[in-house]
């Protein structure tokens, strides 16, 4: 999508990211989609190109920009390699949390993460706690000059490869939201075990379970004051969810382009598929819905750049974006017929990948609860 609402700088940035992604990320993307981890050389290329530090302080290797530009980076990378597209939002989302900590902690970890030299995970979800983050059970209890971490985090993207995690745990288990505290945890500490979760898609993201068995963490790794972690992470979700939706949309745009090209050249009953309304009307619908979903995302990110409320708008974007993307990729696969169902084309892999973004960072049902809450008020929520 281009034209409406983007500044000259944002439009130029979009072109730069698209050129880089086609040149450096598209080659090999199909093969990488079947790996269980990211090749670190490609992550470093993204870091060197400035894609992992968009809208982060220049002191730590970032570049001055805005949240709309982070969304642009995610969408354009996704058009060439869907799995790599989560890295810009992952780094920015985690970095915004780390910036609440000490300058020493920022200096130690942000430059290598922004440069793509090290990977970072966001550790919130637990086996019995997903969208209800306040219900987490992982404990961080004071001991000596630090904390003892005990519990399990699961469904953690980049959990297998990351050197460090932005982690949330209960420092006061008697409390819900007010008992959650944020920590930056090096993942080579004694007592941490990891296990890979075998997924149907998004395999290079290395989704994992992390088990903490009385892991001692020095106090300097705490971010902010005790009990403030929940509110810091909830604020980041209103940014991350838009990026997740745009990543799904970016992958779907590529699938749509492939379907259009195929419908033009594939002939049936003596004429191109594109002349059959059953094909062309479906593609017209998908193109329209993708643009609509994209505009929702950029509207929410634009509101964030203006420091205006955008929780409702974000939930709308996160619900609609992945839904439309999955539908579009599915239709593109069907347009290609048996060729689309084959592993020779990237469509079957892309479909399995984008389905994951219907779940990640908040399901459709949770998004509808948020929208309803914002429209009716908390007193009318069903629970």
Q: Given a cut of 90, is residue 107 above it in pLDDT? A: yes
Same-fold call for 121-227 versus 230-380: no
* Domain limits, the chain: 8-118, 121-227, 230-380
Can you say whether residue 373 is alpha, beta or left, with left for phi > 0 and alpha for psi between -120 and 50 degrees? alpha
d(CA 46, CA 25): 9
| pTM, to two decimals | 0.95
Question: Mean pLDDT score of the chain, rounded to an integer?
Answer: 94
Q: Give 202's contacts (C-beta < 8 A, 6+ positions apart).
A: 82, 83, 157, 352, 353, 356
Using alpha carbons only, how large is the chain's radius of gyration in Å? Answer: 21
* Domain boundaries 121-227, CATH class: mainly beta
**Tokens matching residue 109:** 């970890």
- Give burial (CB, 10 Å; 0-12/13-18/19+) of 64: exposed
Coil/strand/helix, residue 297: helix
Coil/strand/helix, residue 267: strand
Residues of the chain with pLDDT > 90: what percent? 87
Q: Work out the pLDDT band at 4, boundaries 50, 70, 90.
A: low
d(CA 72, CA 32): 22
Looking at domain 8-118, its CATH architecture is: Orthogonal Bundle (1.10)
Domain 230-380 bears CATH identifier 1.20.140.10: yes
Determine contact, residues 138/84, Cβ cutoff 8 Å. no
Q: Work out the pLDDT band at 5, boundaries 50, 70, 90.
A: confident
pLDDT at position 230, please? 75
């Amino acid at each position: 999508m281009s034209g409406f609402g983007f500044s000259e700088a944002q439009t130029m940035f979009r072109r730069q990211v698209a050129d880089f992604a086609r040149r450096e990320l598209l080659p090999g993307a199909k093969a990488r989609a079947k790996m269980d981890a990211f090749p670190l050389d490609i992550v470093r290329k993204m870091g060197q190109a400035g894609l992992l530090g968009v809208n982060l302080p220049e002191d730590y290797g970032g570049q001055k920009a805005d949240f709309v530009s982070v969304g642009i980076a995610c969408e354009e990378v996704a058009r060439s390699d869907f799995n790599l597209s989560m890295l810009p939002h992952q780094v920015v989302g985690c970095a915004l949390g780390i910036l609440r900590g000490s300058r020493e902690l920022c200096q130690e970890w942000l430059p290598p993460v922004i440069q793509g030299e090290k990977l970072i995970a966001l550790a919130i979800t637990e086996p019995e706690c997903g969208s209800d983050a306040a219900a987490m059970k992982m404990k961080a209890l004071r001991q000596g000059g630090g904390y003892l971490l005990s519990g399990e985090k699961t469904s953690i993207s980049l959990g297998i490869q990351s050197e460090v995690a932005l982690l949330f745990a209960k420092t006061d288990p008697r409390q819900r939201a007010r008992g959650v505290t944020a920590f930056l945890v090096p993942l080579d500490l004694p007592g941490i075990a990891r296990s890979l979760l075998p997924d149907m898609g998004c395999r290079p993201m290395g989704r994992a379970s992390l088990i903490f068995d009385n892991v001692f963490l020095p106090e300097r790794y705490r971010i902010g004051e005790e009990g403030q972690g929940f509110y810091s992470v909830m604020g980041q979700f209103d940014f991350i969810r838009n990026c997740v939706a745009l990543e799904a949309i970016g992958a779907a745009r590529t699938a749509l382009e492939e379907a259009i090209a195929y419908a033009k050249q594939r002939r049936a009953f003596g004429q191109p598929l594109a002349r059959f309304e059953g094909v062309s009307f479906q593609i017209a619908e998908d193109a329209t819905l993708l643009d609509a979903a994209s505009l929702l995302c950029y509207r929410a990110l634009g509101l964030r750049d203006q420091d205006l409320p955008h929780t409702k708008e974000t939930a709308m974007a996160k619900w609609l974006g992945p839904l439309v993307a999955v539908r579009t990729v599915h239709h593109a696969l069907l347009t290609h017929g048996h060729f689309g169902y084959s592993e020779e084309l990237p469509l079957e892999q892309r479909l399995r990948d984008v389905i994951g973004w219907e779940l990640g960072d908040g399901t459709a049902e949770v998004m509808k609860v948020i929208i309803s809450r914002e429209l009716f008020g908390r007193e009318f929520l069903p629970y």
